[in-house]
Amino acid sequence: MSISESDLHDLHGKVALVTGGNTGIGYATVLLLARNGAKVYMGARDEGRALAAIKQLQDEGLNDGSVHWLKLDLSDPRLAISAGKELLEKESRLDILVNNAARALPGPYVLNDDGLLDIMVTNHISHFALTQTLLPLMEETSKEDGSDVRIVNVTSTAHGMVAPETFTTLETFNVNYGTSVTNSLKTYGNTKLANILHMKELQRRLTARSTAITCLSVHPGGIATPGSDGFRSQVPWIVSALMKWFFFKPPREGGLTVAFAAAGKKVVQDKPLAKYRGAYIVPPAKLVAPSSSAQDERLAKELYEKTEEIIAGLASH
């Protein structure tokens, strides 16, 4: 099985936001969505890098789609909320949200001024805050006839390296397994588990109130990105070289799987069966079961509620 641009449906008249869209998998996803006609917002912190990426995208050819910069800083959930509010002022619809940006290796990971682990803030808490800010607009969009609104969290198989007992405490959000390569991957994996649980619980809540939004989590595969380069820098050079040549694929490959989750025709066709609701996808666009922890409804509910509590606490400061 393989997937290509032809597996994506027509996105003319649709609006999308891709976080971390100026490089790697995010860049490839932005390109694919825009080429199918979408108006895509590239969520990125640095204006210069974002505008350079947009120029490169235009040079590669966007057909009649378009790409626009949205200033987005995920290091602070309050800034993520501000970015979401800015988008709400700009647009009257939002069909696709791809939470792609992430901090990976190398560490070290530290607590920020709010007492939160920096990688958990970037990878989960800020994306959660952004999603909550944009959700009312996406719900309104989903009420239109023939709507196909989707929220996609980009995750990783590293989520299977951890199995937390609970997500009811701040300590479980701030867990830091250590500085070795394996332990850093576990700390990263805890944030990627949070990405999957977020989509599981959000899908449950949306379905309970009959909201026609599809939430998915996607592992894009082993992709050559700045994040994977950081990982390879931590291992012996011969191992790094072998990984790059034999295991890490170009960003476009990862972008195709993410773009399928965001706009694949098959997801629309399967909508009555609801097979993709809260689903976990791996290359090439296959539905598989994530780890047992990622399927734990109690953990998903705990994570969701504790994240809401954390964000509410930040807003009161």
Sign of CA dihedral 152, 84, 131, 146: negative
Does residue 38 fall inside a structural domain? yes
Element spanning 140, H or E: helix 126-142
Does residue 16 fall inside a structural domain? yes
Residue (of 255, 316, 304) closest to 127 by Cα position: 304
Does residue 47 fall inside a structural domain? yes
Chain mean pLDDT for the chain: 91
**Placement of tokens 């490839």 in the chain:** 28
SS3 242: helix
Q: Which domain holds residue 277?
A: 5-220+256-315
What's residue 227's pLDDT? 59
Indicate the number of domains in the chain: 1
User: Which two structure tokens, joined as six digits, stand for 167?
Assistant: 């997500």
Query: Which of 271-282 are b and which e, b meaning 16 or more Cβ less than 10 Å from the residue's Cβ?
Result: eeeeebbbbbbb
More confident residue, 199 or 246: 199
Does residue 291 fall inside a structural domain? yes
Distance CA 298, CA 172 (A): 14
- Is residue 244 very low, low, confident or very high in pLDDT (cuts 50, 70, 90)? very low
Sign of CA dihedral 196, 178, 163, 306: negative
Residues recognised as catalytic: 188
Average pLDDT over residues 115-132: 98
What's residue 270's pLDDT? 79
What's residue 104's pLDDT? 84
Say which CATH number the domain at 292 has. 3.40.50.720
SS3 81: helix
pLDDT at 226 over 80: no
> Are the beta carbons of 163 and 292 closer than 8 angstroms?
yes
What's residue 105's pLDDT? 76
Does residue 242 fall inside a structural domain? no
Does residue 156 fall inside a structural domain? yes
In the chain, the percentage of residues whose pLDDT exceeds 90 is: 80
Q: Quick: pLDDT tens for 256-293.
A: 999 999 999 999 887 776 899 999 999 989 999 999 99
Q: Quick: pLDDT tens for 59-82.
A: 999 999 999 999 999 999 999 999
> Are the beta carbons of 184 and 107 closer than 8 angstroms?
yes
SS3 211: coil
> Are the beta carbons of 113 and 75 closer than 8 angstroms?
no
Average pLDDT over residues 185-214: 97
What's residue 204's pLDDT? 98
What's residue 2's pLDDT? 72
Q: 145, exposed or middle or buried, with CB in 10 Å at 0-12, 13-18, 19+?
A: exposed
Task: Give the amino acid at 159.
Answer: H
Does residue 287 fall inside a structural domain? yes
- Is residue 181 very low, low, confident or very high in pLDDT (cuts 50, 70, 90)? confident
Does residue 92 fall inside a structural domain? yes
Average pLDDT over residues 36-62: 97
Distance CA 299, CA 16 (A): 29
> Are the beta carbons of 169 and 303 closer than 8 angstroms?
no
